[in-house]
Amino acid sequence: QVKEMDLTVEEVDKLTGPVIGRPKSATFRTVDVVGLDTLVHVANGIYENCPNDEAHELFKLPDFINTMMENKWLGSKTGQGFYKKEGKEIKTLDLNTLQYRDKKSAKFATLELTKTVDKVIDRFPILVSGKDKAGEFYRKNFAAMFAYVSNRIPEISDELYKIDDAMKAGFGWEHGPFQIWDAIGVEKGIELMKAEGLEPNAWVNDMLTAGNKSFYTVKDGATYFYNIPTKSQEKIPGQDAFIILDNIRKSNEVFKNSGVVIEDLGDGILNCEFQSKMNTIGGDVLAGLNKAVDLAEKDFQGLVIGNQAANFSVGANIGMIFMMAAEQEYDELNMAIKYFQDTMMRMRYSAIPTVAAP
């Protein structure tokens, strides 16, 4: 598909990295780290041992891979692969000429639309709606992935959530295939498949016919999955030992502003969850923290400052501080610093236990 869509190494890595909740090394950089010989060994093993798999031909390696193997361009272990370091410069392999060239920046209009969307799960509907090459790439890839994973049940698992868990734990994905499909919409996912000449497994259509419009649902603070044999939503086991904030945020909300959400965790405990970009600490977050202390001291027995984001907090909102300094608003800057310090001291000496839980 890389050759078919005339994508560069940089473009593929841009499309398959953090923007969709996957590691920074994305695709080709991961191959360089692991070793091209390892990829070839795995791909050949699957090609030879899974002759009846519907994706069998995908594991037939393209000519440029064979050339790279002959040249010993195996990645980091041999000093060059899809990327090559020359002094302080990083060169990239041109897949058409098989010559190294200067690394180019990859930009897509579709990705620009996701820059203001902090949560990866909320980006997928935008990505598959893109009108450029990126949108086409995502539509093709997600369609193939959805069709494939639907056929792996019950071949490798009876429960769909286990496939998601395996992909997240094994490959560092933030969201598994069925979670991504849910984010796009089950029916929309089927549309993508049909556009590529693919069909989901029959159980997916049976699920929709039975009135279940998603693979997962949230009820009473717990996540439920669609159980294919019983054709009903069943609770994913093992959730009772911990709290998933995504599952209780709406139902247990006590207070919300643009910087925080305060949730009732039960047992007399409040949680204050940052909601700013990368959980930076600015005026709204500080106001939310003070509100949380007010509420906790009045009606609760304790306060937790916690979230389940990639970053607990990257620190103060430097952009706001920079603007104040640039505009020489030193009085406002001093007030902001004092507000931060007063808030921290208030939490430290509050009348109820206050715990930060990164």
Q: DSSP labels for 146-191?
A: HHHHHTTTTTT-SSHHHHHHHHHHHH--SS-HHHHHHHH-HHHHHH
Q: How is residue 255 written in tokens?
A: 């207070």
Query: Which of 59-68, 122-131, 237-246, 256-265 has the lowest average pLDDT?
Result: 237-246
Q: How far apart are CA 4 and CA 210, in angstroms?
A: 39
Q: How far apart are CA 92 and CA 84, in angstroms?
A: 6
Q: What is the pLDDT of residue 332?
A: 87
Decide if 183 contacts 146 (C-beta within 8 A): no
- The residue extents of the domains of the chain are 1-106, 116-242, 249-357
Residue 218 gets which letter from DSSP?
E
**pLDDT higher than threshold 80 for residue 83:** yes
Q: How far apart are CA 142 and CA 151, in angstroms?
A: 14
Pick the CATH number of 1-106 from 4.10.410.60, 2.40.50.100, 3.30.450.20, 1.10.1040.10: 1.10.1040.10
CA 12 vs CA 107, 117, 139: distances in Å? 11, 21, 14
Q: What is the pLDDT of residue 12?
A: 96
192, containing H or E segment: helix 186-195
User: Tokens 């990295």 label which residue?
Assistant: 17
Q: How is residue 263 written in tokens?
A: 């949730």
**pLDDT higher than threshold 90 for residue 2:** no
Band (pLDDT 50/70/90 cuts) for residue 106 is: very high
Count CA atoms closer than 13 A to 337's CA, side-chain side.
10
Decide if 297 contacts 272 (C-beta within 8 A): no
Band (pLDDT 50/70/90 cuts) for residue 66 is: very high
User: Per-residue pLDDT averaged across 135-145, rounded?
Assistant: 97
269, containing H or E segment: strand 269-274
Contact partners, residue 22, CB within 8 Å, separation at least 6: 16, 171, 172, 173, 174
Domain 116-242 matches domain 249-357 at the CATH topology level: no
Average predicted confidence (pLDDT) for the chain? 94
What whole-number percentage of the chain has pLDDT above 70? 100
**pLDDT higher than threshold 90 for residue 225:** yes
Alpha-carbon torsion (112, 118, 121, 125), positive or negative: negative
- Tell me the three state secondary structure of residue 358: coil
**pLDDT higher than threshold 80 for residue 312:** yes
CATH number, domain 116-242: 1.10.1040
Q: What is the pLDDT of residue 330?
A: 86
**pLDDT higher than threshold 90 for residue 341:** yes
Question: Alpha helix locations (H) across 50-82?
Answer: 63-70
Contact partners, residue 286, CB within 8 Å, separation at least 6: 259, 339, 340, 343
Q: What is the pLDDT of residue 173?
A: 96
Burial of 341 per CB tally in 10 Å (0-12, 13-18, 19+): exposed
Q: What is the pLDDT of residue 242?
A: 84
Decide if 77 contacts 68 (C-beta within 8 A): no
Q: Does domain 249-357 have CATH number 3.90.1150.10?
A: no
**pLDDT higher than threshold 90 for residue 98:** yes
**pLDDT higher than threshold 80 for residue 277:** yes
User: Per-residue pLDDT averaged across 200-216, rounded?
Assistant: 95
- For residue 306, what are the β-bridge partners? 357
Alpha-carbon torsion (27, 29, 32, 35), positive or negative: negative
User: Tokens 């998601």 label which residue?
Assistant: 164
- For residue 261, what are the β-bridge partners? 256, 273
**pLDDT higher than threshold 90 for residue 80:** yes
Residue 45 carries which side chain, given as an amino acid letter? G
Q: What is the pLDDT of residue 110?
A: 97
**pLDDT higher than threshold 90 for residue 1:** no
Q: What is the pLDDT of residue 320?
A: 83
User: Per-residue pLDDT averaged across 244-260, rounded?
Assistant: 91
Q: What is the pLDDT of residue 324?
A: 85
